[in-house]
Structure 1
Amino acid sequence: MSKDLFTVLESPELGRYGVARRNLRAGEIIFEEQVFAIGPKASTSPLCLECASPLDGGADRPKCPQCGWPLCGECVGSVVYHKGECELFVQHKVRFQNQQNSDGCCAQLDCITPLRVLLAKEADPERWNAEICMMEDHRAERAGSVYWNADQNNVVRYLRLACGLKDRCSEELIQQVIGILEVNAFEARTHRGCAVRGLYPKLAIM
């Protein structure tokens, strides 16, 4: 966020928010930023882990030749977003379980976007510390709820045990990331019109 245009303030009632330093012109670009992490929305149906196009979740599904997780034919060989989790899945032999109902919720995919945030944290700790870690996560309000318990099973335990992150990520950190995404992530559309969620820390202040 440009220091010439905005200052960031904080209050107990509103949390962190941006205040213009001067009058802004209609249509003026306020700021530009790169997404910190982007991926599937929670409770999504099977989709390509690169372009987010809907896919069949059964045994004959299009899949990544390295890890076997859903990946459409057009994205094979040119992955960007899927690269980090693919390497982790291969290392720890984490397999995607076939899903016959391709229109239903695929709980296995609930871990993908939190995992991408965690990998981005490791890749860019400075940005995590400066922009992400202080974001509201509503952990106190979520703790013990049905959604919290589902996330504890489908995401926290899955990432720490099946995906081998036990020594890299605490339960508290993963629940923090889940909460940050729930409170602050924005829905975006891919070039094919598929819905995903992205974490834009500056935009979240607005």
Structure 2
Amino acid sequence: MATAERINTTATMVAHMAPSRSTTPDQLARLIDVHLGDLREEQPNWMLAPSPVAGRGVFATRNIAAGELIFRERALVVGPTARKGSQLNTCVCCHRLLASKHFLCPHRCTLPVCAECADSTAHRNECEHFQRWLPKDLTAAEEAPSKEQSKGEAEGEAPKEPLGDVVNPLSLRILTAVRVFYLSKEQRALVDAMQANAERGYRQEIIKAAQCFRKFPTTDKPFMDQLFRVVGVLNTNAFEAPCRVDKHETLLRGLFPLTAIMNHECTPNASHYFENGRLAVVRAARDIPKGGEITTTYTKILWSNLTRGIFLKMTKYFVCNCDRCNDNSENGTYLSALFCREQGCKGLVIPVQTKTLQPDWRCLSCENVFPHAKMARYQDFALNTINNRINTCSVRDMIHFINELCPRFCPPSNYVLIEAKLNVIWRMTRLGAEEYTPEELAHKDRYREEILAILHKLGAGECTLKKLITEEIQ
């Protein structure tokens, strides 16, 4: 939290926020400079300018060499992602893993927080507002014991141990948006200057979060309008950044405004990574000429054309028109490829059109054409089969599955199989080499070389994924 100002009513929260207005390019540049603070270089190698891609972007003020640092940026605001499967007993302030029971704030805001952070200035405002909104989980836990429990105790049975602390991920996810209300004046103005897609699902996110409280101010239109705007900014611009504390890793939801201003390209000339969830580091992946736009990617770089197109259309509301998206072979990587279903043919089938989300598919060997609906079923089968294995198998079983079973139904170039190989590399690197046989380590090295070859074909340069799998970034 960037300010010690006490915000003790919903009306104060709304008054504290900057009014919605249009921000000029010069004003935006000044707000970014204030936000960067001591991380701003005296003569930065980038500048903000109008972009032919989308509104505004980041451009090189001089020639930038591959691997060169472009900028570093602290998160404007962070909070828990509350993703499905994540460990919710993680402190919302310092992000360390808490005990499996009795980890909620002692002040009864129902947020998971450690003893040191519970009374901190950083937690005070959000704690008071969650208390005032009266979380339903808290009131339900304090209701009288059930008839069955009372009867059992009356008959001499030992009292049942109360259920462990319960965290509602819907209320936990909205915490990041609530924290925006507590930023400084310049920081709030910067949030207000950012794009916010008006997606109906975002409003549903707020409504579902409000249902976690008994006194959430849903009838306060100025507050709800401002909250909707903030949630829109976060869902449009925020990143999920890994944070490690005491060997516990969690994903944080962080807003990095300058990083978010960079426009998308499916094989970008810059890449970013995060240091402990709170610092974004952006470097040139390839040489960038003076005046060139500095781009990043909003998708995973090894996703197929079709998968990236669907993701961008559904979440970012645009269709990418980069060179990669216009090449159905993706520089010869064939990340979309599936096996031909024609009897006796083992050729690769790839989408024909590049401008539609439901293309025809053609075999490169027998040249038969297949409807998208049919090939989509095969792709979904491969996706579900491999993802189920990733979620349930040991590393050793995954290696066997990739080497022996996947070739029966999935080409080695298909992006889903590439994701499985990345999963093996990641798990083996994280768990330590001493737990694996020389043969298993050799498979990991082979997977790494295959993926590096694909990145080279794509022209990805010194991208973050390359640095991660070669362990240049820990």
Tell me the TM-score normalised to structure 1 length: 0.72
Greater CA deviation, 17-26 or 166-175? 166-175
Residue 181 of structure 1 and its aligned partner are, at CA, apart by 0.9
Q: Deviations over 1:72-105 (max 9, x none)?
A: 5464457465333113234x26336169798997
**Superposed counterparts of 1:8-47, under 5 Å:** 8-11=48-51, 13-41=53-81, 43=83, 46-47=88-89
Does 1:175 find its partner at 2:218? no
Q: Could you say what secondary structure the match of 2:174 adopts? A: helix
**Superposed counterparts of 1:32-181, under 5 Å:** 32-41=72-81, 43=83, 46-47=88-89, 48-53=91-96, 60-73=101-114, 75-76=116-117, 79=120, 81-90=122-131, 92=132, 94-95=134-135, 97=137, 106-120=169-183, 124-129=184-189, 131-139=190-198, 142-143=199-200, 147-155=201-209, 162-163=215-216, 169-181=222-234
Greater helix content: 2
Greater CA deviation, 3-12 or 101-110? 101-110
Amino acid of the structure 1 residue aligned with 2:194: M
Amino acid of the structure 1 residue aligned with 2:229: Q
Q: Against the structure 1 CA distance between its residues 8 and 67, is the aligned structure 2 distance closer, same or farther, given a 3 Å change threshold? A: same
Q: Against the structure 1 CA distance between its residues 126 and 149, is the aligned structure 2 distance closer, same or farther, given a 3 Å change threshold? A: closer
Q: Against the structure 1 CA distance between its residues 40 and 152, is the aligned structure 2 distance closer, same or farther, given a 3 Å change threshold? A: same
- Counterpart residue number, 1:195: 251
Q: Deviations over 1:177-204 (max 9, x none)?
A: 1111111111112223111110011111
Counterparts of 1:174 and 1:158, CA distance in 2: 16
Q: Against the structure 1 CA distance between its residues 104 and 61, is the aligned structure 2 distance closer, same or farther, given a 3 Å change threshold? A: closer
Q: Against the structure 1 CA distance between its residues 194 and 114, is the aligned structure 2 distance closer, same or farther, given a 3 Å change threshold? A: same
Tell me the TM-score normalised to structure 2 length: 0.35
Q: Could you say what secondary structure the match of 1:19 adopts? A: strand
Amino acid of the structure 1 residue aligned with 2:185: P
Residue 29 of structure 1 and its aligned partner are, at CA, apart by 3.0
Amino acid of the structure 1 residue aligned with 2:187: R
Residue 125 of structure 1 and its aligned partner are, at CA, apart by 1.8
Q: Deviations over 1:131-163 (max 9, x none)?
A: 321212111xx13xxx2342241346779x835
Q: Against the structure 1 CA distance between its residues 112 and 86, is the aligned structure 2 distance closer, same or farther, given a 3 Å change threshold? A: same
Q: Deviations over 1:3-29 (max 9, x none)?
A: 632221234741321001011244433
Q: Which runs of 5+ in 1 are unaligned?
A: none
Residue 108 of structure 1 and its aligned partner are, at CA, apart by 1.9
Residue 69 of structure 1 and its aligned partner are, at CA, apart by 2.2
CA contact (8 A) 2:135 2:212 kept: no
Counterparts of 2:220 and 2:50, CA distance in 1: 34
Q: Which runs of 5+ in 2 are unaligned?
A: 1-32, 34-39, 142-162, 263-474
CA contact (8 A) 1:55 1:102 kept: no
CA RMSD of aligned residues (A): 3.6
State the percentage of identical aligned residues: 25
Q: Could you say what secondary structure the match of 2:47 adopts? A: strand
CA contact (8 A) 2:218 2:224 kept: no
Residue 36 of structure 1 and its aligned partner are, at CA, apart by 1.2
CA contact (8 A) 1:138 1:179 kept: yes
CA contact (8 A) 2:203 2:228 kept: no
Q: Against the structure 1 CA distance between its residues 27 and 75, is the aligned structure 2 distance closer, same or farther, given a 3 Å change threshold? A: farther
Amino acid of the structure 2 residue aligned with 1:173: Q
CA contact (8 A) 2:109 2:128 kept: no
Q: Could you say what secondary structure the match of 2:71 adopts? A: coil
